[in-house]
Structure 1
Amino acid sequence: GPSRGAYLAVKAAGVNVDLQIVDLFNREQYSEEFIKVNPQHTVPTLVDG
């Protein structure tokens, strides 16, 4: 899916990432912490910096 594609792209580019797993089945994308990063609550979400 889209998350796997984003992960493979950053790995192919040699970019170091801090991978955070979001449990969609437990609706973690709707948590207050996640919505602060991505108000659209979609994955994948990439944060620069």
Structure 2
Amino acid sequence: MKLVTQIEQHTGLNQWYVTGLNETLAFFLISIVAKIEKICKTSA
């Protein structure tokens, strides 16, 4: 859970940068976060 929280905080602090990313890259990053969340829920 700590890892997911850190990612959310990091994404929030750099939202201005994430918004400027290429849509494909942004989607890729979102997919990684979603996978991490699923792994955390599965192992919890």
TM over 0.5: no
- Point out the structure with the larger helix share: 2
Q: Which has the higher contact order (CA 8 A, sep 6+)?
A: 2
